[in-house]
Amino acid sequence: MKLLIDSFWRSAMYCLYPRVIVLSVLPLVLIVALSWLLGYLYWDTAITFVRGWLDASSWLALVWRWLEGVGLANLKTVVAPLLVIFSFTPLVVVASLLAVSFLMTPALTRLVAERRFAGLQRKHGGSLVQSVWWTFFSLVLALGALVLTLPMWLVPPLALLLPAFIWGWLTYRVMAFDVLAEFASTEERETLMARHRMSFLSMGVITGLMGAAPSLVWASGALFAAAFVILVPVAIWIYTLVFAFSSLWFAHFALAALQALREAPRGAAVDEVLDAAPPEPKAASPHTSARLGPDNPAKSDSVTDVQPRGTT
């Protein structure tokens, strides 16, 4: 827990570095350009399709009549854009995560290593091909879980918790692998990911909950169409910063855990090494010094420091 909190605050401070802010611009530009292109090509088609589906639904016709009766007939016009936006949001989240993973995480990990772990040996336990395969496999599993749990989203608490848990699991799988790929060996990476699985998952879920904030900006963009062009890049930038923060958090945590793993004596618990403070050196008493001198080397390993009675 001490390492978890310490790495959290360090990551928050690193997000204020100009270098981190500049690095977040490239994924932002790429995702905004992709979003604009998809919107330009498919926005009208998607809105028309969703409106046709809503009008064809018999049970929704009762809802529309009820809304007209209470004076909220105009609310129907924003339902279709909202559904399209919220359906598009998972794609933006995945694209932002992948962009940050490939464009920012290696640079941010090196930044943390240069400032805190300059002497940490790079063992290159993961290649680019392994990283791509690991990310793709994890993404397929996460999207499968997302589709299977869609009916549960009708329950209000689960609608917030399930996406955060799924995105958190995906974030922890991708970020932990990418952070450790350059510095840890394959055996060290597997050991750390198994030993700190719950901590990594907690970090992913927390950043997943933080990633829910841009959804409010998406909704505002749908309700205020005039500001939509401005609010969408803002939402995407927030996604980028959230994942950049998660990269820094995983880097601080994983590299500290890796250093402790290498420094820990054989058989010692790594958690104890992480939380333990350096021991204070003991001052030897004059009586012990006299007995442990070079004239009596045979007793130097067995004689203990015992004060004579009456001494203070």
pLDDT tens, per residue, the chain with 312 residues: 788 889 999 998 998 888 888 888 888 788 878 878 887 888 888 888 887 777 776 666 676 677 666 666 566 667 777 777 777 777 777 787 788 888 888 889 999 999 899 888 888 888 888 888 998 999 899 889 888 887 787 777 777 778 778 888 888 888 899 899 889 999 999 999 999 999 998 998 888 777 666 666 555 554 545 556 666 777 778 778 888 898 899 999 999 999 999 987 654 555 554 555 444 444 444 444 444 444 444 443 433 344 444 444
Q: Tell me which residue has tokens 């979003």.
A: 35
| pLDDT of the residue at 141 | 92
Task: Label residue 265 left, alpha or beta by phi (over 0 means left) and psi (-120 to 50 means alpha).
Answer: beta
| pLDDT of the residue at 67 | 67
Q: What is the token pair recorded at 275?
A: 């939380």
Q: Could you tell me if 252 and 114 are in contact, meaning their C-beta atoms sit under 8 angstroms apart?
A: no
pTM over 0.85: no
Task: Label residue 61 left, alpha or beta by phi (over 0 means left) and psi (-120 to 50 means alpha).
Answer: alpha
| pLDDT of the residue at 291 | 42
Q: Tell me which residue has tokens 């105009």.
A: 74
